[in-house]
Structures are given as C-alpha cells and as structure tokens.
Chain A
Amino acid sequence: MLLGIQDIWVWLAYILSILSTVLCVVYGLINWNKGEEPVKPEDVDWAKEEKNEVEDAV
C-alpha cells in the first residue's frame, strides 16, 4: 500500500494531481519571460468597451 492508499488508481490520481501542479509551476517558470506582445489599438479598444459595458450593467 502506497501512502496508505489501497488502490493503485487512486494513488495515481493523488500523485498526478501533485505532478500536474509541478508541471504548471515548471512550465510557468521556464516561460516566465516569453510571450511578451505589444498592446495593439484593438486590444485597448476592446478593453475600453468592456469597461463601459460592465459599468453600464452595474
């Protein structure tokens, strides 16, 4: 019995939950400085409209 868990499939889920978190951490750190993109006018226009729309709803 591994970690007191009876079934290998449950143990696998326990370990994979932790390993997938590790994957997220490692991937994020490796790519920390990658993927920077310049902000285009369409991005800003989108954000301005989003802001107005949410404020209207409130």
Chain B
Amino acid sequence: MDLFTFTVVLIYLLATGYLGYQGYRQTKTAADYLVAGRSAHPVIMALSYGATFISTSAIVGFGGVAANFGMGLLWLTFMNIFVGIFIAFVVIGNPARHMGHHLDAHTFPELLGKRYNSKFIHVLSALVIFCFMPLYATAVIIGGAEFIGPIFHVSYETALYIFSLIVAAYVIAGGLKGVMLTDALQGLIMLVGMVILIIATYTMLGGIAPAHQALSDLGSQVPKFLGAIGHQGWTSMPKFGWSAAGTAMPQAVQYHMWWVMVTTIVMGVGIGVLAQPQLVVRFMTVKSKQALNRAVVSGGIFILFMTGVAFVVGALSNVFFAQKEVIRCQVVSDNVLMDPGADKKAKLSLVPENPAEDIKARAARFVSYRLPGEDEEAPLRYVLWTDKMVMKRSDDGKADLVEPHLVSIMRSVTLGTTMQGNTDTIIPKFISGAMPRWFGIIFMLTLLAAAMSTLSSQFHTIGTALGRDIFEQSVHQKHSTKSILITRLGIVVGLIVSVWMAKTIRGNIIALATAIFMGLCASSFLPALVGGLFSKRMNRPAAISSVQIGFLTSLFWLVFVNGKTAGGLGICKALFGKDNLVPPTWSVTWTVVDPLVVALPLSILTAIVVMLITKPMDKAYADYCFGGPKPNP
C-alpha cells in the first residue's frame, strides 16, 4: 500500500470512527430522533436509507450484468426509482410506520405476525428470512472482494478474508446501531464516487451521445454465445419472443436473454424491493409522513446516481475495453494455452506441455503478463488473444504495451473462469484499468461504504429473525438474556455462512443471488404485506396461504424448473436424473422464466380467493391493526 492509499483509507476510517463515536455520544440513531420527537434532516435520512438500499451488489454485480446485457438494464434503474423510492415512500412507508408503531412491531415478521394475529406467519416469515437472506449478504460480500482483489493486487480469497474482517469489525463495533450520520457519510461518499465516475466515463468517451453512439457501433462485436441467446447490441433490448415447443437448437434459446433480463433482473429486483424486510422496518424509524415526503427528493436523486450510473458505465465499459484499453505491462508469454474442457463450458485450466491433439485443438490462446511493480511470486495475469490484439514496446523501451481490443465480457475471461467470462469482475477491471489510481482508491471507499451499511442491516435482520422472531415466539420468552444471545448467534452464523458461500459460489453470481432473494421476498410477502397495510378485509387464512403458496412455488421453480438455479443446485439431477423438470414437449423458454412471474400472481390470486371465501377477521382486532384500541384478550 503506498502512502497516498494509506492516507485516504486512514482518513476514511477515522471519519467513520469519529462519526460513529459522535453518534454514540449524542445517541443519534433514527430511533433516538423519534424518542426525542424530532426528525432527522431529510437529506441525512434519504442518504442513510439509500446507503442501506444500494450495495456492492448493485454497483459491481448489476453493473457487470449491464456490461454484458447492455443499457436495457436501465429499466431496473427506472423501477428502483419509481417503485423502490416513489411507491415505497409515498404509498407503503406511512401505513407501515403507523401500523408498526401501533402494534409495537420491530421486525418485518413481527409486523406480519401481529397484523394477522398469527404466530405461524411470524415464525414462517422469519425462517424464510433467516435461511435466504445470507444469499443476498453473500452477493454483497462477493462484490466487495472482487473489487479489492484487483485494486490491491491480491487474490480473490485474500481479498475476501480482508473484506470480511473489516465488515465483521464494523458490524460488531456499532454498524448495527445504524447511526444515521455514519450511514449518511457512507451515502455521501457513494454519491461523490458515482458522480465522478459518470463524468469521467462520458468525458473519456467524448460526451454523452458520442459515447452511446460508439457503444451502438460495437454491435457487430457481440460474442457468438450472447448473440445466440438474443443479444442485439448494447443499446438495444434483447430479442423478444417465446420458442415454440420442439424448436431445435440454437433457435430454441434465442429469447433467453430477454426473459432473464426482464423477469429476473428488472422485475425480480424492481418489485422485490417493496417486500425487503430491512427496508420496511426502516420506514418505522421515521417521524411523520412529512419526513417521508421530504426524503423522496434526495432518495430519487441518490438512486439515479447509484444504479443509473453503474448500469450506464457498465455498458460503456465495452467501448473502453474494445477501443481504448492499453495494458502497460511485462509480457511473459504470448502463447499460453488454456483448456475449456471437451464441451467448451468447463473452467479454463492451463494446458500441460505436449498435450493430446484434441486438447490442443480446442484450447484457447492467452497472453500472460505482469503489471509494473508486481514481483515474480505474484500470480500471472492473462488476457485472451485474438487477431485484433496489438502488442508493441513502449517508447521508453521499459514496458510492453498490449491492446486487447476485446469487449468487456471477453476481457473478463481468464484462468478459472469459463470461456463466457465472469461479469462480476468487469466493473473492478474497468475502474482499475480506465481510471487513475487515486480514483480506484476513492471508489473502493465508495464500495466499502455501500457494502458496510447494507451488510449491517442485513445481519441485524438475520439476527433478529432468529432471536426475536423464531426463538421468542417458540419459547414465549420476551427480551430475555437468552434471546439476546441467540440474536447475536444469528448474526455470527449469518456472517460465517455468507463468507463461506462467497468463497464457494464465485462467478456470475452477484446479480443472480440478489435477484433470487428479492424475488422470493416479493412472491412470499408482498400480497400479505400490501393487503395487510391497506385492507381490513385481508385475514389470517388469506395471508398464511398466500405466503405459503408464494414461497413454495418460488422454491419449486428454483429447484426444479429454472435452468440456471436447478442446474446449479443439482437437487433435480440427484432426484430425477435430469437438470430440470420442464417436459421435452414444452418450450425451452420456460427454463429462463423467473419464479416471480409464476409465484407472485399465484400468491396474489391465493390471497384474494382465500380472503373472499373465508370469514373476515374479528372486527375489533382488525380495527386495532388500523389504529383502534387494543381489544380485550
């Protein structure tokens, strides 16, 4: 670490520590403001909400997906702002706050449990959160580790352990308290980082329209494997349609990209955010409708600069890598062969000397190199060789200059990935390759800030799900020392499981893991939440059946139908001997339809039908939920 890096990181850690200390002394968490009958400044509130909402997952994971899929991903930005901020703050926020306070609910499962006077729904929703939220936390952790690796020239595993230690220290030392000033400082760092990033990127590529134009002109360089699933260029939507049953390959998969992009990424995350447990609870810490109204202003702007910038920059990284990237390095070999396996889909491995003819024939050629300052012990870096690659000696004769002329996803292909690359590494590669080093450090802080605020609230939610919701409800013990211990245990278990998964499931996973969790939340909880907040008629049987149907349908779809998740989990293969249960007489497109598309409508329909055919809740209890006096037991 050089002096500059050290100084910047030190200043950041000191500022975070100082604000955290001030927060402790002046006790300025959101709850403290409320205890004092006051409201936090709307900008502080929106920044701290935004910092919790946006994480490394959105910036590194979904930014990388935008590099692959293109600017069509901006539909998710629109959903993030319109649904995640406008609808959430204006429509959901205030009723959630009123009901939460009136029923004295402090967690999302508790809100549902008390609204429907049902221990079952309370424990079931807590179980869903406890079991699946670590998946989302894993996505956030991978996002951090993928970035720290290339910036500090350390391996992914080393970066993962360093990052996890920082996060654990932060969460335990006070991140859980959600001190508003600290969260807001992190939000501010994120905002500054992203503003610099978009200005620098557009400036480097000649302005807004010319940059987009250059991206449109790259259309002919769409890799074949992306073209086959419907990629039509980075400023076009993928091909839309539905493959007829029995269509032969490769035509059968030509609409896959559209379905993944729209149903999993845009709808899964765009709608899923409304039923995010940690965000719903956040509304309860607000003083009044007025505070929510005011926070909408900075909330909207903040999200535009987070996901909007990440997706535009992600897509535009293609122009940089294809046209402008020059790697100043020491070339070690310009003919390294890597084996993609017999089906060309395996992880790339180095071809040994004197390989068999078939391996030699299918092997891909790479150039290996070292960056200036890297010693001979450090692992080599690799870039895919194509006939467009230019290699020359620098004018001062001290280094080699390599111009790969690859689009982003091909630039991410290296030892250990498949020939289809790893989207999770594109944003980190872009920042370390295209931006000056000082910005890389600032951006690392941006990501550190984004990750810490989100992870704190995730682990808090995981912990309380186990302690307050599952344990207390099961043993009828309120706020005992035991339940506090179990909450802490939940946090530690959540942290360990997330880090272990981050080590195990690396590669094209951040966006998918986030989308799975958010889609699962929407399908399971959204009808019960929205129905419960807005209708006295919505009753316990309707909520219970809706949560069960939403959850079980999603789970079934993930394990047995969706090609990517069913194939990845392997449960279907173990039980039935095939990758998924979609019958051969059905369209292959079913395997890329997100669970949400089926589970959410089913869950809504179940809620409505069961509500209509069962008795309304006890009137006194329903009135109580909506502000009336507590009925006698």
Contacts and interface: CB of A to CB of B under 8 A. Distances in A.
Contacts of B541: none
A7 to B, nearest CB: 4
Interface in A1-58: 1, 3-7, 9-10, 13-14, 16-18, 20-21, 23-25, 27-29, 31-37, 39-40, 42-58
B324 interface: no
Nearest to B101: A46
Contact of B102 (A17, A33, A42): A42
A3 B208 contact: yes
B31 A47 contact: yes
A28 B298 CA distance: 9
Contact of A13 (B74, B208, B468, B488): B74
A58 B74 contact: no
Contacts of A49: 104, 106
Interface in B267-315: 284-285, 287-290, 292-301, 303-304, 308
A35 B216 contact: no
A57 B487 contact: yes
Interface string B89-125: 0100010000011101010000000000000000000
A33 B39 CA distance: 13
Contacts of B71: 5, 10, 13-14
Contact of B213 (A1, A13, A28, A37): A1
B176 interface: yes
A10 B501 CA distance: 35
A25 B287 contact: no
A33 B233 CA distance: 46
Contacts of A40: 101
Contacts of B235: 4-7, 10
B45 to A, nearest CB: 12
Contacts of A34: 289-290, 293
A46 B468 contact: no
A51 B236 contact: no
Contacts of A57: 176, 460, 463-464, 467, 484, 487-488, 491
A51 to B, nearest CB: 4
29 contacts: A3-B209, A4-B213, A4-B214, A4-B235, A5-B71, A6-B219, A10-B74, A13-B71, A13-B72, A14-B74, A17-B304, A20-B82, A27-B293, A28-B297, A31-B290, A35-B292, A37-B289, A39-B288, A42-B101, A42-B102, A46-B100, A47-B31, A50-B34, A50-B284, A53-B106, A54-B176, A55-B177, A57-B487, A58-B174
